[in-house]
Amino acid sequence: MKRSFCLGTLRVSFVLLATMARGDVAIYGEVVHTVAGDPISRGVVLVKGTKIAAVGRQEDVAIPAGTPELRARVVTPGWVDAHSTVGLSGFLNQNHDQEQLERSAPMQPELRAIDAYNPRDELVDYVRSLGVTTLHTGHAPGALISGQTMVVKTFPPSLDQSVLNPSAMLAASLGDAALSDKPDKPPGTRAKAVALLRAELIKATEYARKMGLPEADKRPARDLRFEMLGKLLDRSMPLLVTVHRHQDILAALRLAAEFNLRLVLDGASDAPLVMEEIRASGFPVIVHPTMVRPFQAAENASLETAAKLRDGGVPIALQSGYESYVPRTRVVLFEAAMAAANGLGFRSALAAITLDAARILGVADRVGSLEPGKDADVALFDGDPFEYVTHCTGVVVSGTVMEAAPR
């Protein structure tokens, strides 16, 4: 996208949006970034019901007479935040709204995100007002296995309608974040953490074997923990490992090789130090928030981690991540913007919060690009979406036009 250096007054074109209007709508953009292909100049996205009916140049798409219109300089898919804790790590940061981390045991794979997620938390509305339409959210980093994650739309609040995957991944941490701060509570060391995980996975392997026995009376009682770990072992669910230091990244890869797990690496500040190993594994990386504070385990975090991984042939997505204080949540749009300006480039950064994120989350059949048949999740901007002074002027989630002041 061409950048202009202009000292003049910022011109803002406001788009008037109907209050949560649902129905057919034609969304016109001076540029439409479908992400599935090249940007379309003077493009249009035709929405019918909850789905995209057509995308193309304005002269090529027949718009039925009387179809309501939205217009913007730039139209993109709604953002897919590849890893967040919004809806669990509540807006106020008081005990009553903090659901992201249960510290009573180091491994609690039975904790479901859908039992904790608050779809009406103010931060859900907030990130949506900046274009986020899909969240991969759930239990936070900070325990060896903190619980499950989910993939959910930022509208409507009814989970029956908004959840794309109620049990997307198991959230794990390795390295400093997995360690207990109490001397009498394991794990106290990195080696102990991995030993605990291995022992649990071996038990889960045995549980799965017994559950497969033909004789019902020889099967063990149902165990929610082993049941979830079994999904890792049969590769129906990936393990989302938040890990920063190079030795911990390698420990995660070692664990995956031993138990034939599917991994999604998360954070991975030190990834450039072990690039070959990550590339060889074939696992994707949800890169640390670009603007993450470079302290402790993430002390080697770089604005260029995403670009280096992309250049190294590793599938990547970007994330807002987990914050314990302020900002209460990062905004994945801004993290992508900073990556775009630091080697990743506009199109890769755009893909990292749309289609590439959707692929890693296993929901690319529904969201992540502007293509006929996909969910009508669309974001509208009055300029380059990554520029600091650009506004998000409209958001459409599953065909519903959300009312919001330009932000």
Partner 1 sequence: MTAELLGILLASTTPWVPAQEAPVAFVGGLILPIHASPITNGVLVVQSGRIQVIGPEGTAIPAGATRREIAGKVVMPGLVDTHSHLGSAAGADGSSPIQPEVRVLDALDVRDPSFSRARAGGITTVNVMPGSGHLISGQTLYLKLRDGKRIDDLLITNRQGRVAGGLKMANGTNSRRDPPFPGTRGKSAALVREKYVAAQDYLSRIQKAGGDPSKMPPRDLTLETLGEVLTGDRVVQHHTHRHDDILTVLRLQREFGFKVVLHHVSDGWRVAEDIAAAKVPCSVIMIDSPGGKLEARDADWKTPAVLEKAGVTVGFHTDDSVTDSRWFLRAAALGVRAGMTREGALRGVTVAGAEILDLSERVGSLEVGKDADLVILSGDPLSLYTQVLETWVEGRKVFDRSDPKDRLAATGGLGAGDPRRARLCCFELWGGEQ
Closest to partner 1 by CB, 182 vs 295, is 295
Burial (CB < 10 A; 0-12, 13-18, 19+), residue 104, is exposed
Closest distance between partner 1 and the C-beta of residue 168, in Å?
23
Closest distance between partner 1 and the C-beta of residue 390, in Å?
7
Closest to partner 1 by CB, 70 vs 274, is 274
- What torsion do the CA atoms of 363, 113, 170, 361 make, to the nearest 10 degrees? 10
Closest to partner 1 by CB, 81 vs 375, is 81
Closest distance between partner 1 and the C-beta of residue 273, in Å?
7
Packed helices 224-233 and 190-211: angle between N→C axes, nearest 10 degrees? 90
Which DSSP helix (H) or strand (E) runs through 28?
strand 25-32
Q: How far is CA 365 from CA 26, 67, 175, 360, in A?
A: 22, 26, 34, 12
Closest distance between partner 1 and the C-beta of residue 22, in Å?
27
Provide the 3-class DSSP secondary structure of residue 321. strand
Closest to partner 1 by CB, 9 vs 104, is 9
Closest distance between partner 1 and the C-beta of residue 401, in Å?
22
Closest to partner 1 by CB, 302 vs 398, is 302
Closest to partner 1 by CB, 58 vs 342, is 342
Closest distance between partner 1 and the C-beta of residue 279, in Å?
15
DSSP sequence for 112-160:
-GGGT--TT-HHHHHHHHTTEEEEEEESPSSSSEEEEEEEEESS-S-HH
Closest to partner 1 by CB, 108 vs 302, is 302
Binding residues for partner 1, per CB under 8 A?
3, 5-7, 9-10, 90-94, 122-123, 126-127, 270, 272-273, 291, 293-295, 299-304, 323, 325-331, 334, 337-338, 340-342, 386-391
Closest to partner 1 by CB, 110 vs 122, is 122
Which DSSP helix (H) or strand (E) runs through 396?
strand 392-397
Closest distance between partner 1 and the C-beta of residue 262, in Å?
28
Closest distance between partner 1 and the C-beta of residue 153, in Å?
19
User: Residue 10 corresponds to which amino acid?
Assistant: L
Sign of the dihedral through C-alpha 67, 164, 374, 404: positive
Closest distance between partner 1 and the C-beta of residue 406, in Å?
9
* DSSP 8-state symbol, 179: S
User: Residue 116 corresponds to which amino acid?
Assistant: A
Q: How far is CA 110 from CA 133, 172, 243, 251, in A?
A: 27, 13, 21, 23
Closest to partner 1 by CB, 376 vs 380, is 380
Closest distance between partner 1 and the C-beta of residue 249, in Å?
14
Provide the 3-class DSSP secondary structure of residue 162. helix
Q: How far is CA 88 from the centre of its chain?
A: 14
Closest distance between partner 1 and the C-beta of residue 302, in Å?
4
Compute the distance between CA of residue 394 and CA of residue 16 in angstroms, rounded to an integer: 9
Compute the distance between CA of residue 241 and CA of residue 278 in angstroms, rounded to an integer: 13
Residues in CB range of 190: below 8 A, 6 or more apart: 174, 175, 178, 179, 247, 248, 251
Residues in CB range of 373: below 8 A, 6 or more apart: 51, 52
Task: Confirm if 306 and 288 have CB atoms less than 8 A apart.
Answer: no
Closest to partner 1 by CB, 221 vs 325, is 325
Closest to partner 1 by CB, 242 vs 329, is 329
